[in-house]
Amino acid sequence: MKRIFHTIALSALLLTGAVSCVGDLDQYPHTDTTSKDVYTSADNYQAVLSGIYAAMIQRISSVSSETRSQNYLRVLWMFQDCSTDALDDVWLAGESLTDINNLSWSAGDPWVSAMYYHIYNIVAMCNELIRNASDDRIAGYSEADRTRIVTCRNEARFLRAWAYSHALDFYAKMSFITEKDPVGSYIPTIYDRRQMFDYLTGELRSFADELPTTNYGHANRGAAWALLARLYLNGEVYTGQSYWTECIAACHEVMKEGYSLESDYAKLFNADNHLRTNEIIFALACDGTHTTTWDATTFITCGSVLQNFADYEKVYGTKDSGAWDCLRARPDLVDRFESGDKRALFISHDRQPYADRESYLAEGYYEKAGDTEYVYRDREKDIASHDNVETGWRVCKWTNLTDGGESASLCSDGGGANTDFPVFRLADVYLMLAEAVVRGGEGATRPEALRLVNQVRTRAYGGSQTGNIADADLTLDFLCDERLREFYMECQRRTDLIRFGRYTSGYQWQWKGGVQEGCDVDPKYAYLPIPEAELSANPELQTANAELGY
C-alpha cells in the first residue's frame, strides 16, 4: 500500500492547471501544457495515473464549491448508503444532507451536482492520459517503457469505465466523451443507458485480460471482470434485457484468479486491510500521512464516532478526531441480523468513565456488575429525528485500528485514516453469482450457488455453520437481505434496492420520504437529475430531466 503513494505528490504537481474547471461543456484537461510538458517519460505517465487514483479519495479544487469539493468516494457513498435502509447521516446543517436522507433531491441540489461533476472529472483525466498514450504517441519509447505506458493506459481505461458505470447507474441519459473526441468546448454526444451499457461491456472485455493479475491498489484483471459482473447483474435495470448467464461467466473469470475469503470479516475494514489481498480484489488505497483528507475512509471512520462515548479511540482508532456526530445505523439495518452474526458491528449504548459515575448516574447511566471502567446508558434503536444524535445505534464496521488494536494514524488536522476502501471483494462475486443463478442464469448450478453463499455465511458466524441456509432458503428475498448484511457501508445498497424493486416503493425504512415510519417516494428518485448548470448548454439533457419528472 505504501508504495502506491510515492508518486502522488508529483502527480498533483503535474495536474495543477491540467484539469479544467468542471462545470461547462469542456470536460477535458487543458493540453497546452500537459501534452508537451508532462507526457515526456514513462515515470510521468505513472505519476499522472496516480493522480487519477488520488482524485477518487482526495478533494479536487477544480470541482468547485464546498459540497462539490467533497471527494468522489464520499459523494458516491452518501447516495449509495445514506439514501437507503442502511445509514442515516446526522450532520444536516453542515452538509445539507436532508435531501439525501429523505430521497427528495432536485437538479439544484449541491450533492447532485457533486456526483455529476466528480464522474466527469475522472472521465476527463482518464481521457487525457489515454489520448497521450496512443500507440503512435508512444512509438518512440523503449520497449520496456512502452509496456509500462500501455499498462497505465489500460488502468486509465478501467477507471474511466468505473466512473462511467456510476453515470449509467445514476442517469437515464448522460454525456459520452472519450479520447477520440475533440479537445475544447463543444456539445458532447448523449448516450442512453443501453448505449452506455453496450459501450462499457465491450470496452472492458477488450482489455480485461491485458491488465496485471495482481496489483494491489491498482486496476487488475480480477477488478475488470468484477466490474463486468456487476454491470451484467444490473443489466436488466439498465436495458430491459437480462444478462444473468453473462454475470455468472464474469464471476467465474474473477474466481480463476485464486482469491479466498478472509476469515475475520472485521479485518476487511481496519487500517491493515491492505494485507487482505486474498479477498480484496481492488481497493482505493488511503494513507493518513500521504493522502490526508477529511473524506474517503477518514469520513467513514471518524463520522461513525458519536458523542458520549468515552475512549472512542479504543474502538475506532481515530486518534484525536473527537466525535464527528455524523453516521448511525437505521433500525432496519440492525433488524436484518440474527444472533451470532459477527457482521453486526453495532454499539447500542453510550459510555462514560466509571471514575465520574456519580454525575452520570443522575443522567440515566448505570453500572454493570464487575465493570469498574465505564458506566453505560442504552440508546434507542429508533431514530427520533435526523438531527438528534442521541438516538440510533452506533455503527463500528469501519475503524482506523491496526491488527494489533492500535490507532494507525492521527485523525485530527493534518492526518487521516489509513484504512483502504475495498471496491470489489470476493464475497461480492460469490453473492452476485448466486443471485444470477436464482434469477435463471446458466453456467452454474444451485448447489454451487448455495455452497458459495454458505461460505460467506460461515465466515459471518465466526467459522460456525450454524448460520448456513438450505436450498429452499436461497431466494431473492434472502439475497436482498444478505447483501445488506454483508455490504452495508460499501457503496452498494442503493443499486441493490433498485435491482430488487425496493428502492422507491413497496418497501419502507425509517425516515424514507421524510416520515419516521417511511413512505413511498416518486419513482424519479431511482435516478439523479442532470445538474441545473448543465441544462442551458445542452437542451437534450434538459429533456432527459423532464422525462423523469425533474
pLDDT, tens only, 203-259: 999 999 999 998 899 999 999 999 999 999 999 999 999 999 999 999 999 999 999
Residue 319, pLDDT > 80, answer yes
CB neighbour class for 295 (10 Å; exposed up to 12, middle 13-18, buried from 19): buried
How many other β-carbons are positioned within 10 Å of the β-carbon of residue 77?
23
Tens digit of each residue's pLDDT (9 = 90 or more) over 13-28: 444 433 333 333 333 3
19 shares its domain with 72:
yes
Contact of 163 with 22, CB cutoff 8 Å: no
78 shares its domain with 220:
no
pLDDT score for 459: 98
Contact of 392 with 329, CB cutoff 8 Å: yes
pLDDT band at 61 (very low <50, low <70, confident <90, very high): low
pLDDT score for 513: 96
Q: What single DSSP character describes residue 395?
A: E
Alpha-carbon span 287 to 416, nearest angstrom: 7
Residue 205, CA distances (Å) to 197, 255, 297, 361 in order: 12, 16, 30, 63
Domain count, the chain: 3
Residue with cell 497546452: 32
Alpha-carbon span 311 to 371, nearest angstrom: 15
Question: 419, 444, 459: which is the final residue of a domain?
Answer: 419
pLDDT score for 19: 34
pLDDT score for 14: 42
302 shares its domain with 281:
no
Print burial letters for 79-106: b (CB count within 10 Å at least 16), e (below 16): bbbbbbbbbbbbbbeebebbbbbbbebe
Tens digit of each residue's pLDDT (9 = 90 or more) over 277-297: 999 999 999 987 666 567 789
The CA-to-CA distance between both ends of the chain, in Å, stands at: 43
The answer to whether position 104 is within a domain reads: yes
Alpha-carbon span 428 to 250, nearest angstrom: 12
Question: 363, 386, 419: which is the final residue of a domain?
Answer: 419
User: Percent of the chain having pLDDT more than 70?
Assistant: 90
Residue 430, pLDDT > 70, answer yes
483 shares its domain with 522:
no
139 shares its domain with 72:
yes
Question: What's the CATH number where 38 sits?
Answer: 1.25.40.390
What average pLDDT does range 314-321 have in this prediction? Answer: 94
- Determine the structural domain holding residue 340 and report its residue range: 296-419
The answer to whether position 19 is within a domain reads: yes
Residue 2, CA distances (Å) to 8, 149, 215, 419 in order: 11, 21, 13, 12
**Pairing label, strands 409-410, 318-319:** parallel
- Kindly report the backbone phi and psi dihedral angles of residue 304, in degrees, each rounded to the nearest multiple of 5, phi listed first: -80, -10
pLDDT score for 212: 96
User: Percent of the chain having pLDDT more than 90?
Assistant: 81
Alpha-carbon span 213 to 45, nearest angstrom: 20
15 shares its domain with 164:
yes
pLDDT score for 8: 41
Alpha-carbon span 531 to 490, nearest angstrom: 25
Question: What's the CATH number where 473 sits?
Answer: 1.25.40.10
- Kindly report the backbone phi and psi dihedral angles of residue 322, in degrees, each rounded to the nearest multiple of 5, phi listed first: 70, 180
Alpha-carbon span 3 to 296, nearest angstrom: 19
What average pLDDT does range 305-324 have in this prediction? Answer: 94
Joined together, the cell numbers standing for residue 328 give: 448511525
Tens digit of each residue's pLDDT (9 = 90 or more) over 107-135: 999 899 999 999 999 999 999 999 999 99
Q: What are the residues whose beta carbons fall under 8 Å from the beta carbon of 39, sequence distance 6 or more?
A: 45, 48, 132, 133, 137
Tens digit of each residue's pLDDT (9 = 90 or more) over 75-102: 999 999 999 999 999 876 656 788 999 9
